[in-house]
Structure 1
Amino acid sequence: MSNVAFSWIRRVAMPALVITITLLLPSSPVSAGQTDSYTLPQQSYNQSRARDYKVYVPDNLQSPAPMVMALHSCKQTNNDVLNDWGMKAAADQYGFILVAPYITSYDGFRNQNCWGFWFEHHRHQGAGEVEDLHQIALAVESNYAVDPQRRYITGLSSGGAMAVVAAVAHNEYWAAAAPASGIPYGEDASSVSLTGQCPGSATFHSVSQVVSDMEAELDGAYPIPLMVLQNKNDCTVIKTSADHIRDAHLKAFGDPAFDTPTEAKAESVACSPYYQNNYGCIRTRYTQDGTSGARSLVETVYLDGPLATPNSQDTDHGHYWVGGEQASNGKWAVRVGPSYPDVIWSFFSGHSRDGTAPEGFPVITLIGDSPMAVALNTSFTDPGATADDTEDGSVTVMADCSSVDVSTVGSYSCLYTATDSDTNVTTVERQVEVTDPNVPTETCEQVTASPSAHVSSGRAYAGGSYNLRVYANGDDVDIGGTFDSWSNVPLYEGDPGRWFTSEPVACNGNGGGNGGNDPFICQDWNASNLSHSMAGRAYYAGGYYSTGGDDYLGAIPGGYVWVKESPDGVFEKGQCQ
């Protein structure tokens, strides 16, 4: 039962009656639970330290509940996990206890807040950070009712690497693990690309050495399922790392006849759900006998994601957590892409330690988007859904989209129902939004502020060499330096959250050109010569000159000057009158 249940559901089964209540969640992140803060005191074993951690518990949680531990990456804290990753919304939706440890303090030479996966004393059972994480999990179990068959761990970057360490060092405890941009067990720090260049470069142990290190540490025969999530364009943790995690896991736990990716591959599907862009994400299952009906030993989630992120603190190396619609664009965390919380939970929910499904209900997977956008007065074709049941396998899904009216703008829904042989019923609702494509979506708001203030407010982002330049997030035009807190640069909002240096056409402007019938509205910019040059308003020829008008602007890149645009698209020195 490895498919994602992309739904908002509450389910109640009774001997002679089945009741299903479908709830639609709001589009913005809303938490309906409680967050408690704790500290694990320093323990008596070697290299233990006091560790802070937070536990998020949704309202109306079933008991006992699954537990998911999520580990932050370098330069993050557990607050970033709770605020930006979309995991609290997933806990609300799917009903699990979310545990977010904070490294708190650490030894050795490392970047800020990195988990020490490459230190020998932190990756073996009974000592160091990996044992502190185990003790945190046990402490959570002493305070909350946790299902011992459904303990899971995930993390990003060094947190992903430590999730791999935990899956090996304590495979007798965890049910499954899901490292994102993680590192194979036993690797050195050189397995991370620290050159600052793209593509990245790193050195790795051989797969056989990783397998040998794993076998020396494992103290149980349980073949712990592993989901490996990786942006193929990541320049900090490169794809080779994910491939080695997969290959070593297959060698360590797979049947000798099915211990390579080619032999163990069962199936590949597009990742679902996703927010706005799937980035060509493919989810591949590998099983112990290569058959699609078997339990996963390894699953890979590989996406062709972008390098840049909206957050100015990021390195723009394609290295981040993808949180989906319910997440935030934080430090090394983005919303757009395959929704990690949903994809990971779909994997966890199908891989308890004993192989049983806790609720025994069918799991419905929607094909296509939800919400789904449909243009007014066009045809609507339901992409459908599939359902799997632990006992019955594939289950028939009944769909009802009769409420969808493509002739009227509005919000509609399709209702999907699946019933298993025990009369357990699951219902899932897809939102269908009928919109008029001719109605402008631009807000037309204008804000004038300094480049640095635009960055702080999310209207622009830092980029260029050493992140010293500022670019509007809508048209990627350079508007000045990140150090500039005194200039006044106007930006115009088009679609919500997208800001441009020129007023959008729909806002009665002309977008900086004269390609329509609207009267020309003059636009001018007060920016550095370098900014004018990078935005196409000027060029360099022994000095800076306006594009088309050939007015001399000056020789110093950082010198500020007014440039205006004429009706025929020529840039001239001066201001609009």
Structure 2
Amino acid sequence: MQEATRLTRSRDLMGATAVIQAALQSAGLQKSPVQQHTGRDDIVVDVDAHEVHAEAHTAATRAIALDARPADAPAVLEGDTVTSGHSQGRDWQLYIPPHRAGQKLALVVMLHGCTQSPGDFAAGTRMNDAAREQGCFVLYPAQSSKANPQRCWNWFKHTHQARGRGEAAMLANMTLEIIERYPIDPARVYVAGLSAGGAMAAILADAYPDIYAAAGVHSGLAAGSAQDLSSALGAMQKGGTPVAHKATARPTIVFHGDADTTVHPRNGEQVIAATTGPSARTESSTGRSTGGRRYTRAVHKASDGRVVAEHWVVHSSGHAWSGGSPAGSYTDASGPDATAEMLRFFLEHPRRS
């Protein structure tokens, strides 16, 4: 790692990468990918690609990435821009809102679904438009087709579900890099996703409650609801294994269409159950979106009155981002606006000390 750091400081990034790869190979930590196609292009294409013990590896990679930051990394931001970068082995896009002098702003990490890309997901959710109004950064990590042929986050493998391991560690470290580089309030960092991205968002909130203050799970599954490909298919069809509530659970907002035939709506209920615990009080209401979709909204409160979860069931909606734009894939323009409601929920829940 000292040699890799030296090469990085001299701007020989290819040489630094080669040193890291050689070290991993000599330690027997890199594996050749084994792809197993399921015949579905939605959420669970299995892959065993570059799984490493990430406590050491991701920490070392993050140290090099931070050391390689350009000297002119922006301290003052102006305008309304989208920039891109690469770290932790993945590309990313970052929406930067107009600068507000002297303020640290919130960050929303958005995890796309299978076959999607950051640009597609940004267009479909219109999260950048909402973030402009509220003054938030939005980070869109991109899954690699080398890590998964359909660019699904590998939420269903136990090697990516725990703190310090696999894609969970990679995404957490990427988030920390963005926090350190830009004027972001560490107490207002959130994660949301659709489908496979929603399942990975639930994992990140579960594994890293010290980073993410709240989570948004759209058409996804609870953390730990599957451990392999077989259990993932079962969870998608009828709901995963119920997961016990944790005292460290972060506030979570769930959107799920009750006509979803890709991920069973019962999974949304299980995300809520893992978040709220048995003593939560529930207040339910119904409504109709401007696009004509009926919905049921359940607000779950802890014994002290704090809102710990919201569950939006969008009636007659399938596997799609509610209220999204047809400019992106997997959207239902007629549903209630999941983007606006998630961002509202997030900003109501800064991380508690």
TM-score, normalising length: structure 1: 0.44
Q: Is the contact made by 2:195 and 2:263 (CA closer than 8 Å) also made in structure 1?
A: yes
| Cα gap change, 1:104 to 1:271, in 2 (>3 Å) | farther
Q: In structure 1, give the amino acid aligned to 2:85.
A: Y
Partner of 1:204 in structure 2?
A: 240
Partner of 2:7 in structure 1?
A: none
Q: In structure 2, give the amino acid aligned to 1:297.
A: V
- Counterpart CA distance in 1 for 2:336 and 2:117 is 23
1:354 aligns with 2:352: yes
- Counterpart CA distance in 1 for 2:283 and 2:90 is 40
Partner of 2:335 in structure 1?
A: 337
Q: CA deviation at 1:323?
A: 3.8
Q: Is the contact made by 1:193 and 1:237 (CA closer than 8 Å) also made in structure 2?
A: no
Q: CA deviation at 1:157?
A: 0.3
Matches within 5 A, 1:179-218: 179-188=217-226, 189-190=229-230, 201-202=237-238, 204-205=240-241, 207=242, 210-211=243-244
Partner of 1:285 in structure 2?
A: 299
Q: CA deviation at 1:265?
A: 2.9
Q: CA deviation at 1:330?
A: 2.4
1:295 aligns with 2:306: yes
Q: In structure 2, give the amino acid aligned to 1:204.
A: G
- Counterpart CA distance in 2 for 1:275 and 1:140 is 36
Partner of 1:57 in structure 2?
A: 96
Q: CA deviation at 1:275?
A: 4.2
Match of 2:122 among 44, 63, 82: 82
Q: In structure 1, give the amino acid aligned to 2:322.
A: V
Q: In structure 2, give the amino acid aligned to 1:120.
A: H
Q: Is the contact made by 1:224 and 1:297 (CA closer than 8 Å) also made in structure 2?
A: yes
| Cα gap change, 1:38 to 1:298, in 2 (>3 Å) | same
| Cα gap change, 1:352 to 1:112, in 2 (>3 Å) | same
Q: Is the contact made by 2:198 and 2:217 (CA closer than 8 Å) also made in structure 1?
A: yes
Partner of 2:291 in structure 1?
A: 276
Partner of 1:256 in structure 2?
A: none
Q: CA deviation at 1:190?
A: 4.6
Q: CA deviation at 1:271?
A: 5.9
- Counterpart CA distance in 2 for 1:191 and 1:348 is 31
Partner of 2:262 in structure 1?
A: 236
Q: CA deviation at 1:203?
A: 5.2
Q: Is the contact made by 1:201 and 1:238 (CA closer than 8 Å) also made in structure 2?
A: yes
User: Secondary structure at the residue paired with 2:238?
Assistant: coil
Q: In structure 1, give the amino acid aligned to 2:80.
A: G
Query: 5+ unaligned residues in a row in structure 1: which ranges?
Result: 1-31, 42-49, 216-220, 252-258, 307-317, 356-577
Partner of 1:247 in structure 2?
A: 273
- Counterpart CA distance in 2 for 1:271 and 1:67 is 30
Q: Number of aligned pairs?
A: 272
Q: CA RMSD in A?
A: 2.4
Report the structure, 1 or 2, having the larger strand content. Answer: 1
| Cα gap change, 1:275 to 1:113, in 2 (>3 Å) | farther
Q: Is the contact made by 2:121 and 2:329 (CA closer than 8 Å) also made in structure 1?
A: no
- Counterpart CA distance in 1 for 2:164 and 2:280 is 33
- Counterpart CA distance in 1 for 2:156 and 2:254 is 19
Partner of 1:39 in structure 2?
A: 86
Matches within 5 A, 1:77-476: 77-107=117-147, 112-188=150-226, 189-190=229-230, 201-202=237-238, 204-205=240-241, 207=242, 210-211=243-244, 222-251=248-277, 259=278, 264-270=280-286, 274-277=289-292, 279-289=293-303, 294-306=305-317, 318-324=318-324, 327-354=325-352
- Counterpart CA distance in 1 for 2:248 and 2:225 is 22
Q: Which has the higher contact order (CA 8 A, sep 6+)?
A: 2
Q: CA deviation at 1:230?
A: 0.6
Question: Deviations 1:506-560 (Å, cap 9, x if unpaired)?
Answer: xxxxxxxxxxxxxxxxxxxxxxxxxxxxxxxxxxxxxxxxxxxxxxxxxxxxxxx
Bigger radius of gyration, 1 or 2?
Answer: 1
Percent identical residues: 28
Q: Is the contact made by 2:114 and 2:195 (CA closer than 8 Å) also made in structure 1?
A: yes
- Counterpart CA distance in 1 for 2:162 and 2:137 is 26
- Counterpart CA distance in 2 for 1:150 and 1:271 is 29
Question: Deviations 1:352-398 (Å, cap 9, x if unpaired)?
Answer: 1138xxxxxxxxxxxxxxxxxxxxxxxxxxxxxxxxxxxxxxxxxxx
Matches within 5 A, 1:64-75: 64-75=104-115
Q: Is the contact made by 1:190 and 1:203 (CA closer than 8 Å) also made in structure 2?
A: no
Matches within 5 A, 1:441-520: none
Q: CA deviation at 1:342?
A: 0.6
- Counterpart CA distance in 2 for 1:138 and 1:225 is 20
| Cα gap change, 1:268 to 1:153, in 2 (>3 Å) | same
User: Secondary structure at the residue paired with 2:205?
Assistant: helix
Which deviates more from structure 2 when the two are superposed, residues 236-245 or residues 53-62? 53-62
Query: 5+ unaligned residues in a row in structure 2: which ranges?
Result: 1-78
- Counterpart CA distance in 1 for 2:215 and 2:162 is 17
Q: Is the contact made by 1:250 and 1:298 (CA closer than 8 Å) also made in structure 2?
A: yes
Q: Is the contact made by 1:37 and 1:54 (CA closer than 8 Å) also made in structure 2?
A: yes
